[in-house]
Each structure stands twice: as C-alpha cells, then as structure tokens.
Amino acid sequence: MQVTFYGAVREVTGSMHLIETENDKILLDCGMFQGRRRESAEKNRILQVDPRKITNMILSHAHIDHSGRIPLLVKNGFAGRVVCTRATAQASEYLLSDSAHIQESDAEYLNYKTVRNHINHLSKSKNGGQGGRDQTAKLRKTLKKNRYQLNPETINGLIGEYGLEGVEPLYTTADAQAAIEAFEGNPYRHPVPVGHQATCTLYDAGHILGSAISIIKIQNNGRTYTVGYTGDIGRFDKPIIKDPTLDFEPEDRDIDLLIMESTYGDRLHEPVIDLKPRLQAVLNETFERGGAVLIPSFAFGRTQELLYVLHELYDEGAVPRKPIYVDSPLATNITRVFGEHPEVYDQAAHETFLQQGKNPFSFDKVTFVGSVEESMALNRDENPHVVISASGMCEAGRILHHLRFKIHNERHTVLIVGFMAAHTLGRRLLEQGLAYAESGRKGPAPIMRILNKEYPLKAQVVKLGGFSAHGDKNELRHFLKASNLNVKQIAIVHGEEDQSLSFAESLKQDGYAVTVPQTGEPMRL
C-alpha cells in the first residue's frame, strides 16, 4: 500500500493525494491550482491519475483549491462517489457551478480580446483605407450583444475564420452539474465504505462549514492500515462553527500516517479575542475619512464570519451603521447554506443570535447585491460603506471592479482578512500596500495592474490575521498534542515550501517522525 502526493505539495493550492492498495485507488481531494494565470491553467488541465481507475474520492471540504477539478475528473471518466459531509455536498453545488461559470466567462473574454486585437490589426494594415476601417468597425460591434454581454457565437466563429488560437474553458457549467451527481453527503462520525475493505469516518475540522478530518481504515495484505487526512484545520475559539475535533473514537486513534496541512506552519495569528476590536478600529478610522472599506473575501466561510462580527458591532453601537454590501452572488447562495445548518454552530452563536430569534448573517444594514448593473452602480458610490466581495485572492470576480474604482483614493481602505497565495493580485496588494505604509507613504504609490490597466495603490491596506480560517503554527501543534490521536508518521502538505519545512522541523523537535514530500513522491506503508 502506498500514498502519492500530487497537489498542494510545497505549495498551497491544487490539493490532491492518492491512496493505492491491491484493490483500490482512493483519491483525497481534487483541487484547483491558483496563481499565475498561464502556469495555473497548464497545471489544472493535467490529471496525474487516470480518472477511470479511481475507485472513490474523499473530499475534505468545498473550497475550490480542494474541490475545483472534480468536474474535470468526472468529465474524463471518473465513475465513483465523492464522499464528504452533507454541508460540503450542498455548498459544492454552488461553488463548482460558479467555478464553471468563471471558466466559461474567462475563456469568452480572452477570446474576445484575441479577436478584437486581430480586427484592430486589420484596421491599421496598410491595405486598409477608409472602407476597410468602416468594415472592421462594424465587425467590432458584432462582438457584443450589448454593453455588458459578449457574443460568444460570433467570437468563436471569427476565431475559426481567422485561424486564431482560442481558449477552451477547463470545464463547463454542464460538466459541473454532472459532477454534483457523484456527491454523497454523510454525517460526522459515521463510517462509510470507500473501497474494498476500506472505510472513511469524517470528523469536524473546524475550518469552514462541513470541513472534515478524514480517518481512512484499509485492510490490505492481511493487516489494517489507518491514514488520517486533516484537510484544512481551523482555529480554536472562532465564531460560528465548532472547534476542530480533538476527541476521536477509540478505533480511529492509532494513525499509521497523518497527512497534515501547514498553511501557517511558521506564522502566528493575532489572537481571536482581538479580531472584533481591530475590525471596529478599521471601520471607524475609514468612516471618519469619509471612505469605504473593501474586503476581498472568500464567498464560503469568510464572508459569513465577517457578517457575524459586523452584526455584533452594529448591535453594540460600536461603529456607525453604514451600509454593508455583499457583492457576490455565490456568497449570497452560500449564506443560505449556512442558514440551513445550525446544528454545526457553536454555543456562542446559539446564545448570541439564534436564541434571540436573529439571523446571524442578515440585518437591516446588509444588502445582497444581485445584478451586474447594481454592482456597477456600487463601484461609483463614494459615500462611506463596506463591500464584501469575491474572489478572496483578487484573481477574478466583482472585487476587481471595486478595487479599480477605489484604490487610487487614500480615503478608502482595502482590508485583507485571509491568506493570499503567491503570485496572486491579493498577495501583491498586501505586500506592496504594507511596504508603502511602512515607508511613511512617501514617494510614488505602488502600481497595481487590474484587468490590463494600471492603478496607483493610494488606498490604505490593512491586514487582520485573526479572521484566518487556518490554524497557525501553535494551533496546529495544539491539535496534535491535545487530541487523543497516536500518530506514527506525519507527511506535511498544503503550505508554501518555507512554511512546510519550518513546521516539519518544529514537529521533529516535538518528537514526531515527519517528512515533507515532493510533488509526485510515493510513500509506502
């Protein structure tokens, strides 16, 4: 029996690992790589494992860096089940459909640019003349149905006619819908079969709604092996959902190999108790300047946590009751999913809101923005307000438009509340914005390139680490020490290389046998 590590190995995105026995191939996650567009696109199209040979898959949680390539898996012949929690199955329906829509929209836009640039080149050619320019101008108009909507039929037709190199989406909305049919939602602490003499029991990981630590028990060659997979481990004492599980059933406590995340393996977060007052200070300072607070946020988990804390601050009268806009259709749908699973809320959420007859995620100052037209009108609103918008790493979505309309003005604040992977716009905003502040905001402001245009980053950039859904170095170590698991060996994954290697050294000092695998490296048990 062996485990091979294929994704989120010495990096953060693209989570995927494979357990192989005599009889089965069991996949752990099938996530999307995120980062530099061209590099990520190439990596995402390559599945290192033949989908037709995978028995079943176990999904730790619904975030796209763990689930985003499941439609590609199904499209290429995977016929097994995706075993996960019920909340993860429900959330994945929205997340994967949204991901597919982004794939299709990005392909349409890139193809539009390719055709438009080719037409512009024709217009400027020496053989053009006024008639030729008039003709190309008319041709350009056919590329859009209206001001906001592209005409993909015409665009694709012209790509073929001119012999241009077009872009195909990684998968389509139809592919995502087909993938959802493979999902099987299960309760926590309930063993389910995942292969020949192989079972999986899911425990609450405390990361986001429905996130799970998977304990896989396999009988192979006359003995029983137990593999634990943490997925992403949450923080302790965070609002809304329960803490990561520390009490495992007796039959699941002896672990031959624990595959463990290390996103913040060499970092410490701000204390959870400081989260609300820090947010209060940012809001008050920005509103006093007459500015808006832009918060790039993951639609699943982070948005709901922000709404929860904002609700508390507004109820307490701790900040001016300025409008709050959730400008993400996906976040709107996911917030409904949260509302349908109060059984996973912690005691504080029940006491603060549910027992008072209140919805933690909705109150009179919150508006869920629907249409593109509403979002564009909000872009131009210069009055103090809060915008929570996706994507969380600023790589796509409506947040890009809010940023390009606001970051040139020092009255506004860009509030970073989550992890920003290397080579993303979010990471550049964070690093260059903080460096500019540390320099006393002297000299030219950093330049951010957004949707192929450049903008000076004059807005304030503030980072609140307390909102992270990942446990930090000490919390990850606490999980190991405080749980009743007996771990023989640990494989460190899901962390940038410096974080993984540093965390591995810390665990070795704690007395654990630890390895940090390379991409594609097998480990025999």
The tens digit of pLDDT for each residue in 182-212 reads 999 999 999 999 999 999 999 999 999 999 9
Q: Is 505 helix (H, G, I), strand (E, B) or coil?
A: helix
Q: If we measure between CA atoms, which residue out of 309, 362, 354 comes closest to residue 331?
A: 362
Q: pTM for the whole thing?
A: 0.86
User: What's the confidence (pLDDT) of residue 38?
Assistant: 78
> What are residue 200's DSSP bridge partners?
192, 216
Does pLDDT of 227 surpass 60? yes
Helix (H) or strand (E) holding 450: strand 447-450
> What are residue 327's DSSP bridge partners?
389
User: What's the confidence (pLDDT) of residue 131?
Assistant: 56
Q: Is 227 helix (H, G, I), strand (E, B) or coil?
A: strand
- Rg (the chain; Cα; Å): 24
E strands, 263-315, in order = 293-296
Helix (H) or strand (E) holding 177: helix 173-180
Provide mean pLDDT across the span 383-390.
96
* Assigned architecture for domain 272-467: 3-Layer(aba) Sandwich (3.40)
Integer Cα distance of 459 and 294 in angstroms: 10
User: What's the confidence (pLDDT) of residue 177?
Assistant: 97
Integer Cα distance of 283 and 269 in angstroms: 20
pLDDT grade for 60, boundaries at 50, 70 and 90: very high
Does pLDDT of 354 surpass 80? yes
Is 352 within 8 Å of 412 (Cβ atoms)?
no
Domain map of the chain by residue range?
Answer: 2-97+173-268+469-524, 101-162, 272-467
498 phi, psi to nearest 5 deg: -65, -35
Other Cβ atoms within 10 Å of 381 Cβ, number = 15
Q: Give CA 182 to chain center in angstroms.
A: 21
Q: Read off the pLDDT of residues 468-519 as tens digits, 9 standing for 90 and up.
A: 889 999 999 999 999 999 999 999 999 999 999 999 999 999 999 999 999 9
What tokens does 223 get?
Answer: 């003995």
What tokens does 481 get?
Answer: 């020490």
Range 454-458 contact pairs with CB under 8 angstroms and sequence separation of 24 or more? 455/403, 455/404, 455/407, 455/408, 456/407, 456/408, 457/407, 457/408, 457/429, 457/432, 457/433, 458/407, 458/408, 458/409, 458/410
In eight-state DSSP terms, residue 271 is P
Contacting residues for 212 by C-beta, under 8 A, at least 6 apart: 60, 61, 84, 85, 88, 188, 202, 203, 204, 205, 231
Is 200 within 8 Å of 83 (Cβ atoms)?
yes
For domain 2-97+173-268+469-524, the CATH superfamily is: Ribonuclease Z/Hydroxyacylglutathione hydrolase-like (3.60.15.10)
Does pLDDT of 423 surpass 80? yes
Integer Cα distance of 271 and 236 in angstroms: 10
Helix (H) or strand (E) holding 315: helix 302-316
Provide mean pLDDT across the span 339-357.
89
Integer Cα distance of 162 and 119 in angstroms: 10
Angle (CA) 224-226-232 rounded to 5° is 165
Is 388 within 8 Å of 362 (Cβ atoms)?
no
Integer Cα distance of 461 and 412 in angstroms: 9
> What are residue 195's DSSP bridge partners?
198
- Which position has the token pair 């993909």? 152
Q: Read off the pLDDT of residues 260-295 as tens digits, 9 standing for 90 and up.
A: 999 999 999 888 878 899 999 999 999 999 999 999
Is 259 within 8 Å of 228 (Cβ atoms)?
yes
Is 28 within 8 Å of 60 (Cβ atoms)?
yes
Contacting residues for 407 by C-beta, under 8 A, at least 6 apart: 414, 429, 448, 455, 456, 457, 458, 459
Stretch among 120-129, 215-224, 349-358 having the lowest mean pLDDT: 120-129
Q: Read off the pLDDT of residues 444-471 as tens digits, 9 standing for 90 and up.
A: 999 999 987 899 999 999 999 778 889 9
Q: Read off the pLDDT of residues 303-340 as tens digits, 9 standing for 90 and up.
A: 999 999 999 999 999 999 999 999 999 999 999 899 88
pLDDT, the chain, mean: 93
Is 244 within 8 Å of 478 (Cβ atoms)?
no
Is 18 within 8 Å of 519 (Cβ atoms)?
no
Is 21 within 8 Å of 218 (Cβ atoms)?
yes
What tokens does 172 get?
Answer: 């389509």
Q: Read off the pLDDT of residues 105-136 as tens digits, 9 standing for 90 and up.
A: 888 988 998 999 998 888 776 555 555 677 77
pLDDT grade for 395, boundaries at 50, 70 and 90: confident
